[in-house]
Amino acid sequence: MAIAKRYFFIREINILYKDVKEGQGMYDMHCHILPEVDDGASSLEEAVEMVIMAKENGINAIFATPHYIEGEEYKDYSYNSVILERLNNELSSIGIDIKIYIGCEVHLTPNILELLDKGQIGTLNNSHYLLIELPMFDIPIYTETMIYDLKLKGITPIIAHPERNTKIMENPNILYELIKKGALTQISLPSLLDLYGRDVRKAAEILLKQDMIHFAGTDAHSASRKYYRVAEAVGRLKELIGEEKSLKILKYNPQAVIKGSNIKIPEPSLYRREGKIKKFLSSLI
């Protein structure tokens, strides 16, 4: 495979960038890397290219999280597991060493427990953590009920990229309430770089500062460089919340998911908007 030849030019430390300490590479919690199963990697070759780009950017492990939307023609968990094995075999054959774990990104539905029971969807690395996606423009009225029902079954939902939900952008405290009900959350690193727009970036910054984010991912759908400006995004993350909290989000919390152990999260804080006068004065500084 010609595209894989690039791997052999990667330095021994796999180019761990300045914003990710050597030996402390991040874990990508959300990536559409499985080929030809959703709107992610279009081929096995592109999936390998995405892995190479991840390695170059200091990513030590990846969760493959293909979409699952009930009623649409998406592949199920068992099929995706077979595709992951095929990808892992290809990576092994060309000497690329990286951990890729199975998962999915399931669009929230009232039937989510039934989908789990049928094996249509599955948890991250067969743990008790499930990556869920909210609609972009709404918070379904059954969201809190589904979080409660999942928790009763021993499943902890992780809400993917909440900073891109328009309702949460308007009122970050919606997410505060979902976290208090038992949900965890995952931010998309490109959100910190204005790649989804200024309003999404502002929401991401607010959620981080209020301790409402617990994981990070690229949400990469292709080998586009926009998904892999990791050093820049990690640098911004550390500016916002510091080294210690960043490492929990980038490394230690994902490791707990892999092991299937519980995560101790900081107490989230309610967001209080600045008054118009205070905001105006701040803009003058």
pLDDT, tens digit, 9 for 90 and up, residues 186-225: 999 999 999 999 999 999 999 999 999 999 999 999 999 9
Residue 278 in this model has a pLDDT that exceeds 60: no
Q: Provide the pLDDT for residue 33.
A: 98
Domain ranges of the chain: 23-260
Q: Which residue has the higher pLDDT, 117 or 280?
A: 117
Q: Compute the distance between CA of residue 147 and CA of residue 163 in angstroms, rounded to an integer.
A: 18
Residue type, 35: P
Q: In sequence order, what are the residues at sequence separation of 6 or more whose Cβ sits closer than 8 angstroms to the Cβ of residue 62?
A: 27, 28, 31, 33, 51, 54, 98, 99, 100, 101
3-state secondary structure of 117: helix
Q: Provide the pLDDT for residue 273.
A: 83
Is 121 within 8 Å of 106 (Cβ atoms)?
yes
For domain 23-260, give its CATH number from 3.40.50.970, 3.40.50.620, 3.40.50.300, 3.20.20.140: 3.20.20.140
Angle at 202 between CA 208 and CA 189, to 5 degrees: 60
What is the pTM assigned to this prediction? 0.90
Q: Provide the pLDDT for residue 25.
A: 83
Q: Provide the pLDDT for residue 11.
A: 38
Q: Compute the distance between CA of residue 130 and CA of residue 37 in angstroms, rounded to an integer.
A: 19
| Phi and psi based region of residue 194 (left: phi greater than 0; alpha: psi -120 to 50; beta: remaining) | left
Residue 279 in this model has a pLDDT that exceeds 90: no
Residue 73 binned pLDDT confidence (cut-offs 50, 70, 90): confident
Closest to 161 in 3D by CA, of 112, 213, 198: 213
Residue 30 is classified by DSSP as E
Residue 281 in this model has a pLDDT that exceeds 60: no
